[in-house]
Structure 1
Amino acid sequence: MKYRWHAGAFLLGTATARSLRELESLYLEGTTPDTARIGGQDVPTLSQALPQGQPIDRSGWQLQCSTVQSGHDCDQAVDDSTNTFWQSAASSDAQTITVNLGQERVVNGLTMVPRQETKEEYEKPANLITKHQIQLSTDGENWNEVSYGTWWDTGKAQRMSSFQPQKAKYVRLSAPATDAIAIADLQVYETKFIPPNPALGAWGPTIDLPLVPVAGAVDPISGAVVTWSAWGYNIFVGSPGGDTQTATWYPKKNSVSPRDVEETHHDMFCPGISTDENGKIVVTGGTDQSRTSIYNTTVENWFEAAAMNIERGYQATSTLSDGRIFAIGGSFSGGVGGADGGERVAAQGKDGEIYDPIADEWTEILGAKVSAMLTNDIRTYRQDNHGWLFAWANGTVFQAGPSKAMNWYGTSGNGTTTSAGDRTGDDDAMCGNAVMYDKGKILYFGGSPNYDNSTATINAGIITIDQPGESASVEKAGVDGMHYKRTFHSSVVLPDGSVFVNGGQDVGLPFDESGAHLTPERFIPGANGGGEWIEQQKNSIVRVYHSLSLLLQDGTVFTGGGGLCGNCSANHFDGQIYTPPYLLNDDGTVKTDRPVIKNATPEVKSGDTVEVTTDGDVDERASIIRYGSATHTVNTDQRRLAVKLTKDGSNKYKFQIPEAGIAQPGYYMLFVLKDGVPSHSVNVRVSV
């Protein structure tokens, strides 16, 4: 990776102001102003939140290393001096350092300081570990992987892995075969034990990433999670423009690949995201306000597309029933209401706009009025941020929030705006979440009246929509709403129709983790409305501002990120896997007797029949879930539609795809269930 500097205003919330000259020097080295005194030196920390708990006393440790170079013994990794270091010899086998802690501990993290003597800017420090794996053991023979991935490849900063607390006496850090690796300081952390409870789900492993994953989407072709930050892997301010750091996690390979994307000339921080009918990820606006970039999942490459007519950031987008993409709002970039885009745009505000992916062309539809969905946020540039959009029949879009007012947008001709009523029992819910968990059923929850510095709510409700243009009905979701006040949280709809909610905090404080919630919860819809909220397994990694969650092809959840804020001590360079209860046995092991889809009709249109072959009898109800994309609490791509299976022979079933718009065009994960346990998904593509 390489990083460029641009002198600009540093608006880091609670971050401490530093001189631009000092900042320039540090960022050019790929570090941040934050340092810690480690082993007699000031070591850059990259503003990471250290593992919860405390470091373990190293006095009783015994170390074993795979190889050693003369003069750089294994013990020099823990000798309280970063002037010395363990260095391995070259080897064609994996390099390892194994720590015997002396007694069983509850381990939840590891920090590693690389060799400190190199001073070359941009250059990879000598013998730096990037790809790695962390394993724990109670007996030194049976090992459990708790973390793996790729750390960034520049700078001398402290690297870190956090993971769900586990009992262990032995800790092993491994790196692939290489010329040599070096460690100047190694520390292991311990915390309180979180007793496992399979009825509440389970956490792990952690995937370490070379950036803070603020935005991401699941590639329907490979199943990979494509993530990105901004121009920098750990900061978004001071952007020179035209550049984005990305990292792709491949679950099937257990690998992470970083990439610096310059060819689209687009800093894709604070964008709108939608996947089109072919599974391409369309990223709009943000720091480079009018740019459009497309990730082609077939060839796994980024391409430049036509620019928007209106500059936008924090806008919402949604793929329509005819395959075009609708965008609205976005005053975070390009001026409030379009003030930087000329008098005509300023007068209209950031009204609707349509992208035609076939013609590669944007067209304004100024009859789709953003003014109808504005909140009363105290900051005018926030009032049209992060709209809750749900494409529907006949090219319409339902806007469920975050404003108290709900609206229907028509996208034909110059566009239309029709009120759908107010969300009764709720106020504006900035940075809340909304998820379509079944046909016309939208669960909304959390958020706060103002984007930040505002107390969140436990409010939760179910919006029911039917015909475009009609008023929506609203009912409570749960007796009293969620268990915890949440804003800056994320959510995923699951194959069984429940909704998983993770992270968030009591008061929206960007880049500050005060009041963060580590206990997720799950909404279980009721048979006749209502439903209930159930707390899930407690986590040990904070997920608040700039975090995300995505449903994976195997029915588990990827949740990660938080921070990207320079020197705010809240950067999380990782993601973690949550396994829902439906995939766990009573003893905590993962179920192996899941139903199996042998094949299914791969491509259909709305109203068509899908034929499915399984390995045995399955439940009557199945799910199709559209692939998700997420950033800043928004995931307008995900939606679940329950479908009814009709038996059509031995282990053969069929079901009908809902009508156009209700089943948006694009790729869906098809899950069948047996006694509530979902299969691994297979793809069904709904075309226009």
Structure 2
Amino acid sequence: MCTRPLASYLSILHVFLLLLVTHWDVPAVLAAGGKWELLLPSIGISSMHMQLLQNDKVIMFDRTDFGKSNISLPDGQCRTDPNFGPSGDCSAHSVEYDIATNSIRSLMVLTNVWCSSGAVMEDGTLVQTGGTAEGERAIRIFNPCSDNACDWQETPDGLLRSRWYSTNHLLPDGRQIILGGRGQFNFEFHPKVPSADQVYGLRFLEETNDPNIENNLYPFVFLNQDGNLFIFANNRAILFNYITRVIVKTYPEIPGGDPRSYPSTGSAVLLPLKMQGATQILAAEVLVCGGAPKGSYVNALNNNFVGALDTCARININDRDPKWILEKMPLARVMGDMVLLPDGNVLLINGGSAGAAGWELGRDPVLTPCMYRPDNLIGSRFEVQNPTNIPRMYHSTASLLRDGRVIVGGSNPHNLYSFTGVLFPTELSLEAFSPPYLEPESARLRPEIVSPASGTNIGYGRNVQLRFSVSGSVNANSVKVTMLAPPFNTHSFSMGQRLLVLRTGNLRRALLSNAYIITVTIPQSTNLAPSGYYLMFVVNQGIPSEGIWVKLQ
């Protein structure tokens, strides 16, 4: 299950001992599932940041001051950089991965994107912000194309403040909010409105800041159904009206008080929003998993690597009296990623089981992903998956693809590219994890969406007919339709990740054999689903189709 066999056996023993004591905190299911495949042994860079775009290509980049990468810029281009001498840096620090051809194209990023943030606008354009040095106030635009002619377009001073370790989120009005960052207890918007270009203070970020180690960087941000933002930093959370700049609700501290955000890096998701029509959802729940106990970062700086947190905390953010409920994971995890899957489950992947985020500060890679099934009873939600053999430590990434696989890259806990003589060498490879729903024995249950065609525009509040085929059996009571907003992933947080379970009408057979029609109701409000590109899936008996791209407008 992990790199230390004895630790794995002790972890399993610990699970069964817990079973004798209490039922609610047991990571119940230990059966392994899923399959790993190596996509490319090297993409030339170490994927620190990752975004799937609507042309089925994935943009990845690391930082411009890692040293020369292992892939050249196209057409003999070079980037002016005094650190590389008169000829500059002719290596790439960003690439575009083509899923269909399993190939890489190098891209030219000029300013330093180290520990930056981003989100996709409603027109499908990736807006990427901040970084360090000459990139700390930069805005970079990537407009996807089909002819390999597109590349980064940069505005060095597009931001009003330096944004390093900040968080972006697409808003209901089509703007992005860019929140926080090192030494920045404030937020701003993109695009700018000339008459209102300014920075707005957020005292909550200052209150959650530890002067020595911060622990409030890359805050977890989610859009609630009422249009307010749930913001989590360190071990606390608020519901914030970014328009009136008023804190609407203050949530209790996570039990135990341990930090969960960078550099005590846990991860978080907004659990799938189950639609009860076009305007209402069943609940809005946030799940925060892993992280590092208090003092772990300072201890790691002194070569004392404290074990990571082995708990998740879950809260219904719209309860009148919201409370965190703790659950125990099968494996402790810091620097892990949480990926929403089309069937509504959550994949916990990557990271280590000791230390903290930062150069050389993590230990004991967790090679084993875990599945979290939010609809199961507490005590039976976790399921251990099959392990990889590639450690994915600090600066790793993960993202869902349209075919249901999870792409995994990165891992470079060093100040430069370091391939030898280090505990965890710089990792340039790209892998894919196939969850159990992609196992061959489930193929007959896997739907195939016939219509609408991928790329179709759909309107708010509409009823849309989905036609799909299944070669095997269909259980009308277990067919659902989900819609995912692909996120921007970096530093164990997927910004803007959002999955809706749409309200469906009666399922009926079409005239063709093994063909079916189901009507789904599209959300009516941009608070529930901001305008933009989504992946839509049909799920039959827990087995999702390949997704189709739809543009909600």
Under a length normalisation based on structure 2, what TM-score does the superposition of the two structures give?
0.76
- Give how far 1:607 is off: 2.9
Contact 1:369 1:416 (8 Å CA) reproduced: no
- Secondary structure class of the residue paired with 2:351: strand
The code of the aligned residue for 2:120 comes to T
- Give how far 1:373 is off: 5.9
Against the structure 1 CA distance between its residues 483 and 535, is the aligned structure 2 distance closer, same or farther, given a 3 Å change threshold? same
Contact 1:457 1:485 (8 Å CA) reproduced: yes
CA distance, structure 1, for counterparts of residue 207 and residue 378 of structure 2: 27
- Give how far 1:361 is off: 9.4
Contact 2:180 2:205 (8 Å CA) reproduced: no
- Matches for 1:65-214 after TM superposition, within 5 Å: 200-207=33-40, 208-214=42-48
- Secondary structure class of the residue paired with 2:221: strand
- Give how far 1:233 is off: 5.8
CA distance, structure 2, for counterparts of residue 643 and residue 511 of structure 1: 42
State yes or no: 1:610 paired with 2:460: no
Where does residue 41 of structure 1 map in the other structure? none
State yes or no: 1:576 paired with 2:431: yes
Where does residue 287 of structure 2 map in the other structure? 443
The code of the aligned residue for 1:311 comes to S
- Secondary structure class of the residue paired with 1:364: coil
State yes or no: 1:495 paired with 2:325: no
Where does residue 424 of structure 1 map in the other structure? 254
CA distance, structure 1, for counterparts of residue 344 and residue 39 of structure 2: 26
| Pairing partner for 2:324 from 474, 478, 485 | 474
CA distance, structure 2, for counterparts of residue 609 and residue 330 of structure 1: 41
CA distance, structure 2, for counterparts of residue 629 and residue 363 of structure 1: 25
State yes or no: 1:392 paired with 2:244: no
CA distance, structure 2, for counterparts of residue 428 and residue 526 of structure 1: 26
Contact 1:230 1:267 (8 Å CA) reproduced: yes
- Secondary structure class of the residue paired with 2:350: strand
Structure 2 residue runs of 5 or longer lacking an equivalent are: 5-29, 70-79, 274-283, 301-305, 511-515
State yes or no: 1:549 paired with 2:398: yes
The code of the aligned residue for 2:175 comes to R
Against the structure 1 CA distance between its residues 539 and 395, is the aligned structure 2 distance closer, same or farther, given a 3 Å change threshold? same
The code of the aligned residue for 2:255 comes to G
- Matches for 1:1-80 after TM superposition, within 5 Å: none
Deviations 1:136-182 (A, max 9, x none): xxxxxxxxxxxxxxxxxxxxxxxxxxxxxxxxxxxxxxxxxxxxxxx
Where does residue 172 of structure 2 map in the other structure? 321
Which structure shows the bigger proportion of residues in strand conformation?
1
CA distance, structure 2, for counterparts of residue 683 and residue 450 of structure 1: 44
Against the structure 1 CA distance between its residues 261 and 352, is the aligned structure 2 distance closer, same or farther, given a 3 Å change threshold? closer
CA distance, structure 2, for counterparts of residue 281 and residue 360 of structure 1: 22
Deviations 1:556-612 (A, max 9, x none): 0001101053245530001200000011035xxx83662111123822344333331
State yes or no: 1:378 paired with 2:212: yes
- Give how far 1:250 is off: 0.8
Deviations 1:389-425 (A, max 9, x none): 00234542111x2422111222225x22344212432
Identity %: 21
Against the structure 1 CA distance between its residues 372 and 664, is the aligned structure 2 distance closer, same or farther, given a 3 Å change threshold? farther
- Give how far 1:497 is off: 1.3
Under a length normalisation based on structure 1, what TM-score does the superposition of the two structures give?
0.62
- Give how far 1:552 is off: 0.3
Against the structure 1 CA distance between its residues 329 and 361, is the aligned structure 2 distance closer, same or farther, given a 3 Å change threshold? farther
| Pairing partner for 2:369 from 520, 524, 531 | 520
CA distance, structure 2, for counterparts of residue 213 and residue 360 of structure 1: 35
Contact 1:225 1:250 (8 Å CA) reproduced: yes
Where does residue 498 of structure 2 map in the other structure? 639
Contact 2:351 2:365 (8 Å CA) reproduced: yes
State yes or no: 1:278 paired with 2:151: no
Where does residue 249 of structure 1 map in the other structure? 97
Where does residue 228 of structure 1 map in the other structure? 61
Against the structure 1 CA distance between its residues 604 and 529, is the aligned structure 2 distance closer, same or farther, given a 3 Å change threshold? farther
- Secondary structure class of the residue paired with 2:271: strand
Contact 2:63 2:112 (8 Å CA) reproduced: yes
The code of the aligned residue for 1:642 comes to V
Where does residue 191 of structure 1 map in the other structure? none
- Secondary structure class of the residue paired with 1:286: coil
Task: Choose 655-664 or 577-586, whichever is displaced more.
Answer: 655-664
State yes or no: 1:486 paired with 2:333: yes
CA distance, structure 1, for counterparts of residue 397 and residue 195 of structure 2: 30
- Give how far 1:490 is off: 1.4
CA distance, structure 2, for counterparts of residue 251 and residue 594 of structure 1: 20
State yes or no: 1:591 paired with 2:443: yes
- Give how far 1:362 is off: 8.0
CA distance, structure 2, for counterparts of residue 391 and residue 240 of structure 1: 42
CA distance, structure 2, for counterparts of residue 606 and residue 471 of structure 1: 32
Contact 2:160 2:199 (8 Å CA) reproduced: no
| Pairing partner for 2:154 from 284, 301, 304 | 304
Where does residue 459 of structure 1 map in the other structure? 311
- Secondary structure class of the residue paired with 1:371: helix
Against the structure 1 CA distance between its residues 361 and 657, is the aligned structure 2 distance closer, same or farther, given a 3 Å change threshold? farther
Contact 2:31 2:383 (8 Å CA) reproduced: no
Q: Superposition RMSD on alpha carbons, in Å?
A: 3.0
Against the structure 1 CA distance between its residues 686 and 678, is the aligned structure 2 distance closer, same or farther, given a 3 Å change threshold? same
Where does residue 520 of structure 2 map in the other structure? 655
- Secondary structure class of the residue paired with 1:443: strand
The code of the aligned residue for 1:621 comes to K
Contact 2:31 2:384 (8 Å CA) reproduced: no
Q: Which has the larger radius of gyration?
A: 1
Against the structure 1 CA distance between its residues 530 and 321, is the aligned structure 2 distance closer, same or farther, given a 3 Å change threshold? farther
Against the structure 1 CA distance between its residues 514 and 394, is the aligned structure 2 distance closer, same or farther, given a 3 Å change threshold? closer
- Secondary structure class of the residue paired with 1:293: strand
Contact 1:626 1:669 (8 Å CA) reproduced: yes
The code of the aligned residue for 2:121 comes to D
State yes or no: 1:412 paired with 2:278: no
- Give how far 1:509 is off: 5.5
- Give how far 1:451 is off: 7.3
State yes or no: 1:355 paired with 2:190: yes
- Give how far 1:523 is off: 0.7
Contact 1:215 1:630 (8 Å CA) reproduced: yes
| Pairing partner for 1:670 from 523, 536, 546 | 536
Deviations 1:211-269 (A, max 9, x none): 1111110012x211110011156579x9869997111111101211122323xxx2211
Task: Choose 571-580 or 601-610, whichever is displaced more.
Answer: 601-610
Where does residue 16 of structure 2 map in the other structure? none
State yes or no: 1:538 paired with 2:538: no
The code of the aligned residue for 1:591 comes to A
CA distance, structure 2, for counterparts of residue 653 and residue 258 of structure 1: 42
Contact 2:107 2:152 (8 Å CA) reproduced: no
Task: Choose 531-540 or 449-458, whichever is displaced more.
Answer: 449-458
Deviations 1:525-545 (A, max 9, x none): 134666521111011000010
Where does residue 628 of structure 1 map in the other structure? 487
CA distance, structure 2, for counterparts of residue 552 and residue 657 of structure 1: 22
The code of the aligned residue for 2:467 comes to T
Against the structure 1 CA distance between its residues 377 and 583, is the aligned structure 2 distance closer, same or farther, given a 3 Å change threshold? farther
State yes or no: 1:369 paired with 2:199: no
The code of the aligned residue for 2:288 comes to Y
Contact 1:232 1:245 (8 Å CA) reproduced: no
- Secondary structure class of the residue paired with 1:200: coil
Where does residue 121 of structure 1 map in the other structure? none
CA distance, structure 1, for counterparts of residue 324 and residue 265 of structure 2: 19
Deviations 1:416-435 (A, max 9, x none): 23442124324221311001
Aligned positions, number: 459
